Structure 1
C-alpha cells in the first residue's frame, strides 16, 4: 500500500510503497477514505512524542471502511463505515468498562504507538471497544475531525465541564481545537468569547459562532482576564462559567483562570512544553475546577455524532483545504510555518 513515512524526525516525509497491514484477533484493518492533518501529527514528526518509533507513518483522525477483521471481532463487519477516537482503550480494564477509555493505561493511538492513517490502510486494535459506526450519508469532511479535535473539545466541554445552555465560555486560542470548541459550545447553546492574537483567527471564531472577540496581542494575563470578564459584564459580572485553553501557554492559562466566576471550570486541552505555574490561591478561594481533556472514548460518541447528523454541528465547515496523499509530506512541513493555512486540512484518499 501507499503510505507517508518518515525515518528521521523533522526530515521531509516520503510517499512510499510499504507492506499492507494485517489485523490481530481483536483488531481490524480499515481502508482509509480520508484522514486529517493535525497539529499533533506535526508534534510526532518533530520528535516531541516519546511513543514514536522510526520509521513511522503519522495520522490519527480518519474515516474509512472495515476491510478485514480478526476472529475475535463481534460488533463490526467488513464493509462497515467507521471512525475511531485517537485514543483507543484496551477494552478490558476498569477505565474502559466504565466508559473512560481515553485514560486507559494500556491505550494505543494510531499515528503514535503504531502506524497511522496517512496511508491507504490502518490497523485499529481492540475494535469492538474503539470503533464508531458513522452514517453513510455524512461527508468525509464532517467525520474526520471527530477523531481528535472535535472529540477532545466535546469531551472537555460536555463531559468534563458539563457545559449547559446559556452559560458563558471563553476560548483561548482559535486554531483547530479552539474553533472546534467554539462550534461545540454554540451547538450546546452557550455564549462564547474568543481570544487570540491573530485578527484572521478571530474573524474565523466570529464566523463559527463567537459572540465576542478579544485580541490579546498587547495584553498581559491580568489585563487579558479582565478584558474577557468585561465582554459579558452586563449578564455575568463576576466572570465566565467555563474557560478553555486550546493553546498550551502558561500566560493564557493564568488569564483563563483569572477570568472565571466563582465555581467556574477551566478545561485544559492545549499541550504544554513544561509544567505551568497557575494561581492556586484563586482556585481554592473561588472553588474553581481545573479539568483536563485527553480525547474521548468511543462510548461517548453517539451524542456528538447526533449533533452532526442533526446539522447543529458542522465540522465540515472547518475544512479549508483538501489534498491528496502525495501532497501530505509538504503539508507536514507547512504546519511549522507561521503562514500555515487556517482551518482544517484533510487528505482525501479517494482522489
Structure 2
C-alpha cells in the first residue's frame, strides 16, 4: 500500500510502498477514508519533542487524525466488526489501566500515540492498524462523513476536551483564544457552541475573519496591539474566565495567563517548538495571588466521543466548517512545509490516497 514515511526531519516525506498492516489479536485494520494534516504532524516532521522524550522516529508513517472503514479484525476483538465505520483517537489507551478504567484513557501510561511511535504507524497511508480496538474504536453516527470526522480528529476533540472537561467554561463566560490555527478555530467554534463569549487573538486578519465566522465576538490583532492582555481585559470588562494558548510559543502562553481575571483558568493546547524546548517562564506570583489555574490538555478520552458526536448530530458543532482544503497523499509534505510560516488556513484533510 502507499504511505507517507518520515525519512529525514524537515525533508519531503517519502511516498512509498509498504506492507499492509495485519491486526494484532486485540486490534483491527482500518481502510483510511480521510486523515487530517495537523500542526502536531508538523512538529513530528520537524523532529521536535526530543526534550520531552517525544520525538517521532525516522521511518515513521505520520498521520493521526483518521476515519475509515474496518477491513480486518483480530481474534480477541468483540465489539468491532468488519465494515464498521470508525474514528480513531491518536491517544490510544490499552483499556485496562486505572486511568482507562476511570475515563482518562488519553493519558494511559501503557498507551500508544498514533503516528508518532514506531509501535503505532500512522494514517498517512491507505490502511492503518488500531490496537485495543474494543476500547479505542469510535463508531461513527449515521450521516457523518469521514472528512468531517478527520477534521474532528486531534484538534477539534482536543479543544472540546479542554473546554468541556479540563476548564470550567460556562455560558456567558469570556473565553480568550490565542492563535487561530486549526486547534484555535476549533476552540472558538466550541466555545461559541457552549455559550461562551469569545475573544480571538492572532496576527493574521484573514484568520481573525475566519474566527468571526466561527463565533468570535471580539478579535484582537496581536501585531497591532502593544499589550494583548490589557486589550483583552478592556474588551471583557476585567479579563477572560478561561484562556487557551493554541500556539505554544512563550509570548502566547504568557499572554494567555496574564489576560485572565481573578480565579481564571488557562489551558495549554499548543506544543512548544525548539525555541522553547518545552520550558516557558510564567508569572507564578501573579498566579498564586489571583488563584489562577493552569491546565494541560491532551486529546480526549475515547469514552467521551459520544458527547461530541451528539453535538455534531444536533448541529451545535460542525467540524466540517473548519475544512479549508482537501488534498492528496502526495501533497502532505507541501502542506506541512506551509505550516512553518503559518501559511495554512483552518483544517486540511487528505481524502485522496491514490495520488
- TM class, shorter-length: over 0.9
Identify the match of residue 316 of structure 1 among 301, 316, 320: 320
Q: After alignment, is 271-280 or 323-332 more displaced?
A: 323-332
Matches within 5 A, 1:126-145: 126-145=132-151
Identify the match of residue 182 of structure 1 among 181, 188, 194: 188
- What residue is the counterpart of 2:6 in the other structure? 6
Contact between 1:307 and 1:313, CA under 8 Å: does it hold in 2? yes
Distance 2:73 2:347 in 1: 31
Q: After alignment, is 138-147 or 324-333 more displaced?
A: 324-333
Which stretches of structure 1, 4 residues or more, deviate above 4 A after TM superposition?
none
Alignment partner of 1:329 is 2:333: yes
Alignment partner of 1:84 is 2:88: yes
Distance 1:300 1:92 in 2: 17
Distance 1:141 1:46 in 2: 26
Distance 2:42 2:169 in 1: 30
Contact between 1:85 and 1:146, CA under 8 Å: does it hold in 2? no
User: Is the alpha carbon distance of 1:280 and 1:331 closer, same or farther for their aligned partners in structure 2, counting shifts above 3 Å?
Assistant: same
- What residue is the counterpart of 1:255 in the other structure? 255
Secondary structure, counterpart of 2:266 in structure 1: strand
Identify the match of residue 218 of structure 2 among 203, 207, 212: 212
User: Is the alpha carbon distance of 1:329 and 1:256 closer, same or farther for their aligned partners in structure 2, counting shifts above 3 Å?
Assistant: closer
Q: Output one character per residue of 1:67-100: Cα deviation in whole Å (capped at 9) or x when no partner.
A: 1111111111111000021111111111111010
Q: How many matched pairs?
A: 344
Cα offset, 1:218, TM superposition: 4.2
- What residue is the counterpart of 1:239 in the other structure? 239
Secondary structure, counterpart of 1:342 in structure 2: coil
- What residue is the counterpart of 1:169 in the other structure? 175
Distance 1:215 1:330 in 2: 27
Alignment root-mean-square deviation, CA = 1.5
- What residue is the counterpart of 2:46 in the other structure? 46
- What residue is the counterpart of 2:18 in the other structure? 18
Distance 2:123 2:225 in 1: 40
Contact between 2:245 and 2:270, CA under 8 Å: does it hold in 1? yes
Cα offset, 1:127, TM superposition: 0.9
TM-score under structure 1 length normalisation: 0.94
Distance 2:47 2:125 in 1: 20
Unaligned runs of at least 5 residues, structure 2: none
Q: Output one character per residue of 1:162-207: Cα deviation in whole Å (capped at 9) or x when no partner.
A: 2111111000111110000000001111110101111111111111
Distance 2:254 2:328 in 1: 40
Cα offset, 1:6, TM superposition: 2.5
Q: Output one character per residue of 1:108-161: Cα deviation in whole Å (capped at 9) or x when no partner.
A: 122111210000000111111111111231122321122200111001100000
Contact between 2:335 and 2:344, CA under 8 Å: does it hold in 1? no
Distance 1:12 1:28 in 2: 29
Distance 1:274 1:52 in 2: 16
Secondary structure, counterpart of 1:148 in structure 2: helix
- What residue is the counterpart of 1:32 in the other structure? 32
- What residue is the counterpart of 1:115 in the other structure? 121
Distance 1:168 1:218 in 2: 22
- What residue is the counterpart of 1:156 in the other structure? 162
Cα offset, 1:285, TM superposition: 1.2
Distance 1:86 1:250 in 2: 26
Distance 2:296 2:281 in 1: 16
Secondary structure, counterpart of 2:92 in structure 1: coil
Distance 2:184 2:109 in 1: 27
User: Is the alpha carbon distance of 1:247 and 1:134 closer, same or farther for their aligned partners in structure 2, counting shifts above 3 Å?
Assistant: same
- What residue is the counterpart of 1:99 in the other structure? 103
